A and B are shown apart, each in its own frame.
Chain A
Amino acid sequence: MERWQYLLILGGCLLVTLPIEIFGDGVYRQPLRLLRALTPVLIVFLVWDAIAISLDIWHYNPRYVSGINVPFMPLEELLFFVVIPLCGLLTYSAVSTTLDILRNWRHRTADRSRR
């Protein structure tokens, strides 16, 4: 069970942020925009990560990773660079939508009180 720890944490991040997809236009519902925002950053950070691992700047505890490897790194580390930005995008989407709703609501009540 221990070796699934890192994967479970990432799964937890996705699960916790999934419900906020309902806000506004969402993130998963805009797959092309998501792909275009994520891919360039993903590539840069994967290269950085691969260099850091090969120079032994950091490494992963074999006890807590699945043992499934992609080139240069554990599968979990690749997924990290997808999951964390996704959580960030969902958060931003939810906060933006909430602020827009509040702004509209305030305008409407201001208009009504003027009448």
Chain B
Amino acid sequence: MIGLGYTLPAIISVIVVCVLEWAVLRTGLFRQPAYWISMVIVFGFQILVDGWLTKLSAPIVIYNEDHTSGIRFPWDIPVEDFLFGWALVTAVLLLWVKQRPDREGGR
């Protein structure tokens, strides 16, 4: 339950993505209502998919409990997964928004 292997990197990934936006990319994504509405939708689907992947009765992904906080919510989803998922999806969205659409020649 020390959380060094998953909890800590998951928190760091969120910080890295925020710093990437505020210090480097400056896309303004976090000020867009479309982004936050999308994240609510993604969050809803993550609960369904991740809930299935992590359910303790028949898990697809098995976590070493020494490296997580041990907090699983909702269902059996390790809370760290939400940080991990947020960082993954947000990082890709930031790079996507940073570029112009393909039809305008991209960047």
A contact set with B: CB distance below 8 Å: 5-6, 9, 13, 25, 29-34, 36-38, 40-41, 44-45, 48, 52, 55-61, 63-65, 81, 84-85, 87-89, 91-92, 95-96, 99
The interface residues of chain B, by DSSP majority, are classed as: helix
The reply to whether B92 and A85 form a contact with Cβ atoms under 8 Å apart is: yes
Q: Mind listing 11 A-B residue pairs with CB under 8 Å?
A: A29-B102, A31-B102, A33-B101, A41-B95, A57-B5, A88-B88, A88-B93, A89-B93, A92-B34, A99-B34, A99-B37
CB distance from A98 to the nearest CB of B (A): 8
Give the contacting residue for B95; candidates A29, A37, A84, A96; CB below 8 A: A37
Count of residues in B whose CB is under 8 Å from the partner chain? 40
Given contacts A31-B102, A56-B64, A57-B64, contact A87 B45 (CB under 8 A): yes
With CB as the reference atom, state the residue of chain B lying closest to A83. Answer: B49
Mark out the residues of chain B between 2 and 46 whose CB falls within 8 Å of any chain A CB in the assembled complex. Answer: 5-6, 9, 13, 32-35, 37-38, 41-42, 45
Q: Is the CB of A89 within 8 A of B101?
A: no
Q: Once bound together, how far apart are the Cα atoms of A87 and B101, in whole Å?
A: 18
Residues on B with beta carbons closer than 8 Å to the beta carbon of A29: 102
B88 close to A95 (CB less than 8 A): no
Contact call B6/A33, Cβ cutoff below 8 A: no
CA gap between A64 and B85 in the complex, in Å = 21
A103 to B23, CA, bound (A): 30
Specify which chain A residues have a CB less than 8 angstroms from the CB of B5 in the assembled complex.
52, 55, 57
Least CB distance from B13 to A in Å reads 8
Q: A57-B67, A85-B89, A87-B45 are in contact. Are A37 and B96 (CB under 8 A)?
A: yes
Report whether A40 and B95 are in contact in the complex, using a CB–CB cutoff of 8 Å. Answer: yes
Residue of B60, B89, B99 near A60 (CB, 8 A) is B60
